[in-house]
Chain A
Amino acid sequence: MFVQRRTKGGIIAVAVAAAAALVASALPAHAETGVTGSTIKLGVTLPLTGAAAPGYNKIPGAMNAYFSYVNANGGVNGRQIKLIVKDDAYSPSQTLSVTNDLILKDKVFALVGTLGTANNEATTRLVNSQGVPRLFVNTGFSGFADMKKYPTTFPLFPSYATEAKIMGKYLADNFAGRKVALIYQDDDFGMDALKGFATAGTSFVAKIPYAALSQADPSVIGKWVTSIVASGADTVVMFGVTSATGALAGGLYKANLIGKVQLILGSVGSDGTTLKGLLGPLAPALAGSIAASFLPSPADATDEYITQFKAINAQYNAGATFDNNILVGMNTAMLTVQALRAAGTSPTRASLIKAIETKGSTWASAAFSPILYSAKSHVGYTGYWFGKLGLDGNAVSVDGPGKYTLYTTDSGSAPVVKAAATRPAMPAKGLPKN
């Protein structure tokens, strides 16, 4: 027995090594949570019902449409992507409850595009303790780029502070000497913006704060307008959500101020389609307003990303009008597919995070801004271009159609840099081959 084994020792060693190698290669593919040989399970939370739902509730449909398209074309390394969508009605306690479901019951591999600042804060402890990657969160709160506090979280959108700094520079370059009033949402969103404007050295003749969601109250809008008139402002910067922008346009129209004050809109509240839905026949009131954006205009038929996404939307998301929310959903989904591809043939949560940190900055995305992901930074987009809203509510670059000038900076004290916009080309047929 002993002798026999000894003589066969070499063979056994080889067999064991081979088995170990098999197990090693097979295990990660089947052992990582949310990944099987044929599927990858992802999760997203956002408001599908409640006051915050309109607009945002189109995002999951768009993400699903893009994933279906990729699945129909072979999936990611042979695996089909399955997205589980949960409604949190914008309440952090519901976000936590449904995220518990996603992570502990549905056992998703990663969270993608989860929406809201307080909502993402509420799930941070769970996400961190389980080591769940949280990709391309849908908020401009700059804090999520802190890699110590949020090691697995990747913000995508430029921070509000960045946007305010850039807007301040744009105002100084193009509207010097004008009397500018600022309307902002009175929370971290607005505070971030005030910080950015302070860094840029922008001075305002009036600063008008309003509580989130109070724009539904007509007397709040009345107060904006009386304050604008009282301050004598000829230019108004709006740093609020879309429904607030819509309410402001309505208020200005009512006060007969359309055409008399120049509106400058932040990216959060300037989606053309949503504004059209909000304003109806009043929509042309916003024509001539200047809006900051990081993604191209959804109406730009010359943009290769827009045309490709539009085609996918028509095929896999029947009935949904292509707008900025659809664009955000598709763009997030496309970055996710690139991240999953880069995470390897047997993706793990660790390999996914590593892939984004090492290669994320090179991936194709619709925004003109570069992505700054690296082993030392989780900052996503950093740049904006400026457009003028047409009668249809869609923005056309101030430099003319298809010509984009990009302003980039950071959330801190770095100067604002102006440059011609460049970005990676759209992969053929919208299917990444990274």
Chain B
Amino acid sequence: MQIFFNTILVGLSSGAIYALMSLAIVLVWRSTRVVNFAAAGQAILSTYIGYEAMTRMHNYWLSLPVAILAGALISALVEAIIMRPLAKRTKGTPVESIAPVIATLGVLGGIRSLAGLIWGNTFLQYTSPLSSKGYMIGHTTIPFSPQNAAIVVGAAVVLLLFAALFKFTRLGLALRAASFQPEISRLSGVRVDRVRTIGWAFAGAAGAVAGALVTPTTYLSPNSLDLLLVSGFVAAVIGGLESLIGAVVGGVVLGVGFAFILQYIGTSVTFSAAFIILIIVLLIRPQGIFGKGSSREA
């Protein structure tokens, strides 16, 4: 029972990180119909910038907003400089849906190499003042630390902020309109291009939160968020790509699922299991758990 409970806790904290990454992918998908494989790369760069901020200010909490702003800015730049012109050039051609995938893979590779060029391919420490020692319940230590709590809280806060934004603000409405009916939105006065860039910026911010919160539990290197690339995307697909709640549910399902598979089956099968979980979910609901059946095709 103790192991069962612990496994859920372990899964919950890694699931929260997958959820944040998955949110970043869903936000981009909703605003531009692009699967952003560069999300993990952008998060690496923003985390390095957060690391630089921390070494200068000696304060983890102050470095967080720096990392988040950097994440938003990097993401907006990627959209404005690469993705927007690309979308215009490929509109209506056979590569319309696949060229953006290649472009984001290019960005991912470019950012990783750039990070190696600047900071070197070594392990760096981006440390948080929160203890990574698990809480005590009675005489047993549970595998859940204050830093894990920060991760879970961070994911929840980001989710709530975005949910409120989409539901209650004009910007949120414009974001939704621009993604589902770009032509009509444009006619009704929405500056579609700008709104899309803002969608990317929000996504970059969510990814930056993921990077800055998870890195203190491990280390920082140009490849240290590689796992999130796959997990975040798989979580987003399980959740249905369209839905913020879906992204978070997908992340937690995947995190807890991985933890149980690791605990009871073995490590080598983890990603094969991700594949099987995904196939099962998608065979039952080809649009993901929270996806709408009528959503546009890629």
Contacts and interface: CB of A to CB of B under 8 A. Distances in A.
The answer to whether any beta carbons of A and B sit under 8 Å apart in the complex is: yes
B130 to A, nearest CB: 12
B134 interface: yes
A226 B3 contact: yes
Nearest to B125: A280
A131 interface: no
Contact of A53 (B13, B121, B218, B267): B121
Contacts of B124: 277
A222 B219 contact: no
Contacts of A170: none
B123 interface: yes
Given A55-B122, A222-B10, A257-B141, 17 more contacts: A50-B223, A51-B226, A55-B123, A57-B122, A186-B266, A214-B270, A216-B218, A216-B224, A222-B262, A223-B263, A227-B263, A230-B2, A246-B219, A247-B218, A250-B218, A255-B143, A280-B125
A295 B228 CA distance: 37
Interface in A52-66: 53-55, 57
Given A247-B218, A277-B123, A253 B133 contact: yes
Contact of B226 (A49, A216, A255, A257): A216
Interface of A: 48-51, 53-55, 57, 186, 209-211, 214, 216-220, 222-223, 225-227, 230, 243, 246-247, 250-251, 253-257, 274, 277-282
Nearest to A224: B262
Contact of A211 (B120, B136, B270): B270
A34 to B, nearest CB: 28
A219 B127 contact: no
The size class of the interface chain B forms with chain A is 35 or more
B188 interface: no
Interface string B148-159: 000000000000
26 contacts: A48-B121, A51-B226, A53-B221, A54-B123, A55-B122, A55-B123, A57-B120, A209-B266, A211-B267, A216-B218, A216-B226, A217-B14, A219-B14, A219-B259, A222-B6, A222-B7, A222-B10, A222-B259, A223-B262, A226-B6, A250-B132, A254-B133, A254-B134, A256-B141, A274-B123, A281-B127
Interface string B256-280: 0011001100111010000000000
B22 interface: no
B113 interface: yes
Contacts of A209: 266-267
B40 to A, nearest CB: 12
A223 B10 contact: yes
Given A216-B224, A223-B262, A277 B132 contact: no
A54 B267 contact: no
A54 B122 contact: yes
B227 A226 contact: no
A220 B267 contact: yes
Nearest to A253: B133
B185 interface: no
Interface of B: 2-3, 6-7, 9-11, 13-14, 112-113, 116, 120-125, 127, 132-134, 136, 141, 143, 145, 214, 217-219, 221-224, 226-227, 255, 258-259, 262-263, 266-268, 270
B113 A218 contact: no
B219 A214 contact: no
A219 B249 CA distance: 18
A148 to B, nearest CB: 32
A55 B11 CA distance: 30
Contacts of B9: 222
Given A49-B116, A254-B143, A256-B136, A278 B259 contact: no
Query: In this complex, which of B123, B124, B223, B258 has the most chain A Cβ atoms within 10 angstroms of its Cβ?
Result: B123
Please provide the 7 A-B residue pairs with the shortest distance between their CB atoms, ordered closest to farther: A222-B10, A280-B125, A256-B141, A53-B121, A211-B267, A277-B123, A51-B223
A230 B6 CA distance: 11
Given A217-B258, A219-B259, A223-B259, A255 B221 contact: no
A279 B126 CA distance: 10
Contacts of A214: 267, 270
B133 to A, nearest CB: 6
A256 B133 contact: yes
A55 B124 CA distance: 12
Contacts of A48: 121
